[in-house]
Chains A and B, each alone.
Chain A
Amino acid sequence: MKLDAKIPKGPLAEKWENYRGTMNLVAPNNKRRIDIIVVGTGLAGASAAATLGELGYNVKVFCFHDSPRRAHSVAAQGGINAAKNYQNDGDSVYRLFYDTVKGGDYRSREANVHRLAEVSRNIIDQCVAQGVPFAREYGGLLANRSFGGVQVSRTFYARGQTGQQLLLGAYSALSRQIATGGVEMYNRHEMLDLVKVDGKARGIIARNLLTGKLERFAAHCVVLATGGYGNVFYLSTNAMGSNVTAAWRAYRRGAFFANPCYTQIHPTCIPVSGHYQSKLTLMSESLRNDGRVWVPKKKEDCKKDPLSIAEEDRDYYLERIYPAFGNLVPRDVASRAAKNVCDEGRGVGATGLAVYLDFASAIERYGKAAAHAEGIHNPSAEKIKELGRAEVKAKYGNLFHMYNKITDEDPYRTPMKIYPAVHYTMGGLWVDYNLETTVPGCFALGEANFSDHGANRLGASALMQGLADGYFVIPYTIGQFLSKEIRTPKIQNDSKEFMDAEQDVKSRIDKLLNIGGNQSVESFHRRLGKIMWDYCGMSRNAKGLEEARKMVQDLRKEFYSDVFVPGSNDEFNPELEKALRVADFLELGELMIVDAHDRNESCGGHFREEYKSPEGEAERNDADYTYVAAWEFKGMDADPALNKENLEFNDIELKTRSYK
């Protein structure tokens, strides 16, 4: 199938403006007659549902949580990028566009990224108007900080809780629409299938998690904003409930899945402490503004108290290898470097899988500045530390507090121990410029789609993309599809297609409940995660991927013969919910492996050991792999088919990414 990204003609900077001015619209009287289903209430879903409701469409919105406010966008810490150039440091829409494409290792679609950079400015305005309490300067104007992979300060933030504040903003807009009746909220409902009628997405099958009842919901189109699939690794910074099911079911109904192998491993997470570990906790990238990453130069120092290791025996490896960006290199680069030093045997901590993130020099620097500001001459070393700690506390207090709670160590005195962990998935449902998948009428927003981050996402860009898609893109582009649907009467939910889909879901559930094996869902999930991490994690090679594919297939077989799911369908049954999600992860995992195997190059979050420079840096193959790999489901017994969308770069020169 030929993939048509529907990128508007014209110069890059004018595409969106011109497109918006000429695209098809739906008149207000017709909007009232059109039903839209939105699945997911994170930044993308909540903002889309609210905005579509404001426009007058009838919106039904679904989340599996007890409340839309719990979506995992809430946990984003660091901030949101926008090309406001409030700091007068040379930022512009083009620079944000450029940084994002470069950060994504030239594997994203130019037109989408440029649009993202354009609307980034509107997002900040919108959020401020909603009452999001962004950090401010003394003059009352908005404050910024810098993030990895860029040389300007364009990140807006609300302490270490930016995601929470933005989500609460979108949630409040959504709540307002629910109150007016424009949006109907279905919480504790999990989408388990997409329903197609005459080739178009016309509804979903959702399970009411309180009663177990399967319910059929019909609409003129379906918008999926269901997040990423990082939990395929079992251990990740995702929430426990984050899952791929909605996107996966759309894939099985004909939506292509793009670049599934692009996963982001975040460099600064709290290391694993035991086999019981259920999730990993991120320490915001903003810490790398002030923290210095190091490991001992000598292996024998690794078990020593870090404070006893002399300065000359420490290897500040990021500063050494990447002097231009130092500790602020992009995430994929920082993660790989950490893995490399640990592989060399220079990792620290009980497991040897950790590096230090040290604030001693920041504390000293801030302490001296504060002493100077307070007019203290010749301050003692202790006084400097005391003042410095206070400054660091003001900036990162909540993160330090969280670190202390989890590890029982005091990061103001001893360096933090950190290690990379799965954080975000750049891959997702393939969408065109309108954010429409290959199933007409089925749209994908936010992390659930693949579009904007290429092979690696820059910090503070996920929030930007989720809100851009929801507030400022889908409300327009959905009109391209719906303007052709104004004569379509209300979709009925009792057609054969709906009944069949419901039956399909029912058989899936019955199948799981009837296996009656001996192993818990959790144990399968943990094993799948281990395979994925070992063979399709931070670095991959062809041989390992081939083995891993077999292992996942075997694990899936074992799952369907020996899993035990307690209880029945007709009750509140979290274990059944988990089983359905893990079943889909077991299929997705294989597709990720297939995709990683297909891509014979190293780019962004995808690092193939066979393709690296003599210094160990990732080596792209632009001649053969400047494409989006969009996978098409061909049935469980057949290999998925690869469809390529060739990426064209007209406004940016493809270069080897260098942060040196």
Chain B
Amino acid sequence: MKLTLKIWRQTNANDKGSFETYNLDNISTDMSFLEMLDVLNEQLVTEKKFPVSFEHDCREGICGACSMVINGQPHGPMKGTTTCQLHMRSFNDGDTIVIEPFRSRAFPVIRDLVVDRSAFDRIIQAGGYISVNTGQAQDGNAIPIEKDTALAAFDSATCIGCGACVAACPNASAMLFTSAKVSHLAKLPQGEVESTKRVLGMVNQMDQEGFGKCSNTGACEAECPKEISIENIALMNREYLKASISSDKMG
């Protein structure tokens, strides 16, 4: 198939950036979207041009590296699918595809489609863990956890940290990401112990990173490649209210 690509090109954070148009021929429908970009890049390198920078690694939909907005949708048109698992059969011959980086103040563009998502790491560092040193653990079966509870925690824990929720949110809010970790740990008895400190710390960090504020549009869950529900956000709201009102922390 033949395609026209309009891709955001930006040399570095200080560059203004603009769209460039590329034409591709002979694209197979069995290719993944990233393999289609590989073909483009190979073509650019042969023309001695700088290829399009985009983040990618596992290409199995689990590492969360790939991050681009395809025709206005983070990770493209297919529900519950990362860019790397999107295949060209989702497009038609002659299509024009517009590819943009994830847009958020908190995710500054590094180059072309590559953005800096280290804000997510800092949110996790602010409390997205259970404080247990290596060797301190009791037997794995010491605390029975109801099967459904374990599954619910798993559903929240399945977040790959790609940032599509931020990219999709009209407010560039990071509530879905933050809440997924808060609720993963809050749902488990092991995580409950620290839940007050965790939710206060993580929400505070999230606010400091400059993300927008959630207005419950639900765009995040619609675009999340792991289909994480906004029930997690409600749970985090609850945890936060509980923590703010009941904790002894005064500052």
Contact = CB atoms under 8 A, between A and B. Distances in A.
Direct contact, A vs B (beta carbon within 8 Å): yes
Interface string B81-109: 10001010100000000000000000000
B211 interface: no
A572 B111 contact: yes
Contact of B126 (A54, A179, A406): A179
A66 B81 contact: no
B158 A161 contact: yes
Interface string A112-134: 00000000001011111111011
B118 A142 contact: no
A564 B48 CA distance: 8
A52 B147 CA distance: 34
Contacts of A472: 134-135
Nearest to B120: A67
Interface string A129-143: 111011111111110
Contacts of B78: 405
Contact of B31 (A75, A171, A276): A276
Contacts of B120: 67
Contact of B132 (A67, A129, A163, A566): A129
Interface stretch (A92-100, A277-285, A290-298, A630-638): A277-285
B145 A136 contact: yes
Given A69-B64, A133-B184, A140-B146, A158 B154 contact: yes
A189 interface: no
Interface in B18-67: 28, 30-32, 34-35, 38-39, 41-42, 45-46, 48-51, 53, 55-65
A50 B134 contact: yes
B58 A274 contact: no
A276 B35 contact: yes
A239 B63 contact: yes
A240 B157 contact: no
Interface in B103-125: 110-111, 114, 116-118, 120-121, 124-125
Interface stretch (B136-144, B164-172, B215-223): B136-144
A240 B59 contact: yes
Contacts of A277: 35
Nearest to A70: B63
Contacts of B63: 65, 69-72, 74-75, 239
A162 to B, nearest CB: 11
Contact of A210 (B35, B87, B110, B185): B110
Query: Which range holds the interface residue count of chain B?
Result: 35 or more
B132 to A, nearest CB: 4
Interface residues of A, number: 82
Given A67-B120, A172-B128, A210-B110, A131 B190 contact: yes
Interface string A392-413: 0000000000100110100000
Contacts of A51: 133-134
A364 B225 CA distance: 32
A575 interface: yes
A108 B134 CA distance: 27
Interface string A508-527: 00000000001011110000
Contact of B35 (A74, A278, A518): A278
A164 B62 contact: yes
B204 interface: no
A616 interface: no
Contacts of A127: 140
A618 interface: no
Contacts of A521: 45
B247 interface: no
B241 interface: no
B191 A575 contact: no
A241 interface: yes
Contact of B130 (A130, A210, A522): A130
Interface of B: 11-12, 28, 30-32, 34-35, 38-39, 41-42, 45-46, 48-51, 53, 55-65, 78, 81, 85, 87, 89, 110-111, 114, 116-118, 120-121, 124-126, 128-141, 143-147, 150-151, 153-154, 157-158, 160-161, 184-185, 188, 190-191
11 contacts: A54-B133, A67-B117, A70-B58, A125-B140, A140-B145, A161-B158, A179-B125, A278-B59, A402-B61, A471-B135, A475-B134
Given A125-B138, A126-B134, 18 more contacts: A67-B161, A131-B185, A133-B151, A136-B145, A158-B157, A172-B129, A239-B63, A240-B57, A240-B58, A276-B39, A278-B35, A405-B87, A406-B85, A471-B135, A475-B134, A566-B50, A567-B50, A572-B110
